Amino acid sequence: MGTAQGKAVLFVDDLNMPSKEEWGAQPPIEILRQFLDEGGWYDNKDKEKPWKTLQDLYFVAAMGPPGGGKTFITPRFLRHCNLVSLANFDDDVMIKIFSTILQWFFIKGKFNTDVAK
């Protein structure tokens, strides 16, 4: 049986949502860290070849600032990441962004002007 060809993107939203256990680890994040450290993980169901190497897999994640159920991510995990931070937009900026997108949508879809208003 051949191997699958191609690339995949693994996107994890709210990366910092898992709560910490009593020793401070976040088990779901530790599984992701193992992939980033070692290039795969163990499959205990496969006794012949328990190690599974993952290739051509890109990891992308998003998270909000700590607080309200979200926590800090350990430096052991963060060392693998390139951090990009976006500032919150003012209401005027958000209205301009979304009204521009909606205006384009209504024009492209040839909506009646009464609907567009």
Q: What is the value of pTM for the model shown?
A: 0.62
Do 82 and 92 lie in one domain? The reply is no
Average pLDDT, the chain: 87
Q: How confident is the model at residue 95 (pLDDT cuts 50, 70, 90)?
A: very high
- Residue 25 buriedness (CB in 10 A; 0-12 / 13-18 / 19+): middle
Do 45 and 24 lie in one domain? The reply is yes
CATH number of the domain encompassing residue 32? 3.40.50.300
Distance from C-alpha of 111 to C-alpha of 91, rounded to nearest angstrom: 26
Range of the structural domain that residue 52 is part of: 1-86
Do 47 and 67 lie in one domain? The reply is yes
Number of domains within the chain = 2
